[in-house]
Amino acid sequence: MAGIDAPVSLTKVIGKFGGGNSLSEYVRNGARVPDNAANAAISTTVSGLSLASFLGADVNTVALVQIPQPINVRSRDVNGGTECRAEIRFYATGAIHRYTNQAGLQQEGTWLLSGGGAASDYEIYCTQNSGIALTVGSINTWLDMGTNRTWRLATSTNDRIYDAELTFQIRRKSDGAIMATGNVSLNVTKGLA
């Protein structure tokens, strides 16, 4: 289904979303206009509404990106190997993988869905909510998703348990709209039975 095209008119808005002849009925995340990426420019308040903001607006709520939930990556090494690590990787192909010492690299899911465009259309932001500092991976900065991204928690010291709680956001570069948010837990246990 296509969004509203130019020139935008109240008739087109009514045709797309149904309802009456008052623009005040068409606030984003209200009864008629869903809060989706196509409608990001539409105000959530009546005072901020303008017809121009409805260009491209659509009732379609199909997600373009996602972060599957929950993601818990737990790695354990009781045999005294050189390093115990837990990783989450977001690939430019659209895949999400996890790495643990026990299972190696495994696909966790897909962040870029069919119709979502190119990975380079998006950026990812990682916030560390708690735990020890990550071994690999940037936090508190937007990173281009056209490049593979890895966040790792690791230790080579025996008799240790480390955790990190992370929140990821994926936004569309063109308008800064947040498209997906999700939490990831990383845990490494080394040398403890």
Q: E strand or H helix at 11, and its extent? A: helix 10-17
Confidence band, pLDDT 50/70/90 cuts, at residue 175: confident
Confidence band, pLDDT 50/70/90 cuts, at residue 34: confident
Cβ contact 151:186 at 8 Å: yes
pTM of the model: 0.69
Q: E strand or H helix at 71, and its extent? A: strand 71-77
| Residue owning tokens 């966790």 | 108
pLDDT of residue 63: 64
Which domains are seen in the chain, by residue range? Answer: 10-54 (no CATH), 71-190 (2.60.40)
Cβ contact 148:92 at 8 Å: yes
Helix (H, G, I), strand (E, B) or coil at 75: strand
Q: Which of 70, 114, 106 is nearest to 87 (CA)?
A: 106
pLDDT of residue 60: 65
Rounded-to-integer distance, Cα 39 and Cα 27, Å: 10
Whether the predicted pLDDT of 178 surpasses 90: no
Helix (H, G, I), strand (E, B) or coil at 166: strand
Query: Tell me: the pLDDT tens digits for 36-85?
Result: 778 889 999 999 999 999 998 887 655 678 888 889 999 988 776 788 99
Query: Tell me: the pLDDT tens digits for 6-26?
Result: 899 999 999 888 888 999 999
pLDDT of residue 113: 84
- How far is CA 128 from each of CA 5, 35, 52, 91, 152, rounded to the nearest angstrom? 41, 27, 38, 20, 12
Confidence band, pLDDT 50/70/90 cuts, at residue 146: very high
pLDDT of residue 143: 98
